[in-house]
Structure formats: C-alpha cells, structure tokens
Amino acid sequence: MEIEAGLTLVAALEPGSGYAEELRLQALIAAEHGRAETAAATDWAAIADRYGELEALTGSAIVRLNRAVAVAEADGPRKGLAIMAGLDDALPNNHRVAAVRAELARRVGNTDLAIASYRRALALCVNDVEHAHLQTQLGRLSDG
C-alpha cells in the first residue's frame, strides 16, 4: 500500500532543474525498479532513458555505468559495452567498471575479455562479499 502511494507521488513530480531534477530522475528510476515484481518484468528501456537524462544533466561517469547496465538489459550486452567506452579513464580504480565489463563480455561470448575484466575487478575490489562473487564468476569461466 505504501509503495503504491509512493509510486503515485513520484509519477506526479513535475520536471525541475538542477539538483531538484537530478533527485526527480533518481526517484523515477527507483520507482521503475519498485514497481517491477521481478528483474525480467523491469522496464529497462524506461530506466535506460532516465539514466540518459540523468547523465546529460550531471555528466557523471557512475551514472553512465548504470546506464550501460540498463541499456544492456534493454537492448543487449553489446550496446551496454559500447556505452562503457572511456569509463576506465573516468573511474580508474572502480572495480565495478571492470565487473560490469566482465559480465557483459561473458554475455556476448568474449571469454578472454570477461576473464581479464574479472581479474581486474578482483584486483581493485576491497569488499569481501563482492570479491567472493567475482571470484566465483571467474571460476565458472575458467572451469568452463
């Protein structure tokens, strides 16, 4: 009941400018995730569009990384990978760039890039839980 009320409020938000618009776009992205009962039921195209608007507003490399994930879900991993161009320079020590590249490369069948990217992500990752997940994913590729 509260989620539906929140989604109704978010949908009624008028476009703004500056930081208010940034928050509105973030709320709309969260609302898309909130209304989907499963990842498969998520409207990834709408999320990708909102991330595109948010990236245009902020110029944030993290937002571009998130947009790459949404585009990959909506339009396929090759398109997501294309959006990632230049993110290693913009976020040189962020393991998530390498982790996303690894997953998308795995999905397109580029095992060499996926393995190299998982290794890069592991070298940069300091979170034990994420590190274990990345190690598992790398192991699946290396064993297969």
In which domain, by residue range, is 16 found? Answer: 1-91
Query: Of 114, 101, 121, which is closest to residue 141 (Cα–Cα)?
Result: 114
pLDDT digits (tens, 9 = 90+) for 46-91: 999 999 999 999 999 999 999 999 999 999 999 999 999 999 999 9
pLDDT in tens, 14-38: 777 778 889 989 999 999 998 899 9
The pTM (predicted TM-score) of the whole model is 0.89
Residues 138 and 86 in one domain: no
One domain for residues 7 and 26: yes
- pLDDT average, residue stretch 120-131: 97
Residue 3 scores a pLDDT above 70: no
Q: Would you state the pLDDT for residue 140? A: 94
Residue 42 in this model has a pLDDT that exceeds 80: yes
Residues 97, 72 share a domain: no
Same domain, yes or no: 83 and 103: no
Q: Which of 51, 67, 91 is the last residue of a domain?
A: 91
Distance between terminal CA atoms of the chain? 46
The percentage of the chain sitting over the pLDDT mark of 90, rounded to a whole number, equals 76
Tens-place pLDDT, residues 96-106: 999 999 999 99
- Distance separating alpha carbons of residues 53 and 45, to the nearest angstrom: 12
- Helices (DSSP H) in 1-144: which residue ranges? 2-11, 18-35, 44-58, 61-75, 77-83, 87-90, 95-108, 111-124, 128-143
Total domains present in the chain: 2
Q: Interhelix angle for 61-75 vs 95-108, to 10°?
A: 20
Same domain, 32 and 66: yes
Q: Do residues 65 and 104 both lie within one domain?
A: no
95 CB contacts (<8 Å, ≥6 apart)? 120, 121, 122, 123, 124, 125, 126, 130, 134
One domain for residues 102 and 134: yes
Report which of residues 13 and 103 the model is more confident about.
103
Domain co-membership, 58 together with 100: no
131 and 81: one domain? no
Do 22 and 56 reside in the same domain of the chain? yes
Domain edge (last residue) among 74, 91, 108: 91
Output the pLDDT for position 20.
86
pLDDT at residue number 19 = 82
Regarding whether 66 and 107 lie in a shared domain, the answer is: no
For the chain, the average pLDDT equals 92
Instruction: Classify 17 as helix, strand or coil.
Output: coil
Main-chain phi, psi angles of 22, to 5 degrees? -60, -45
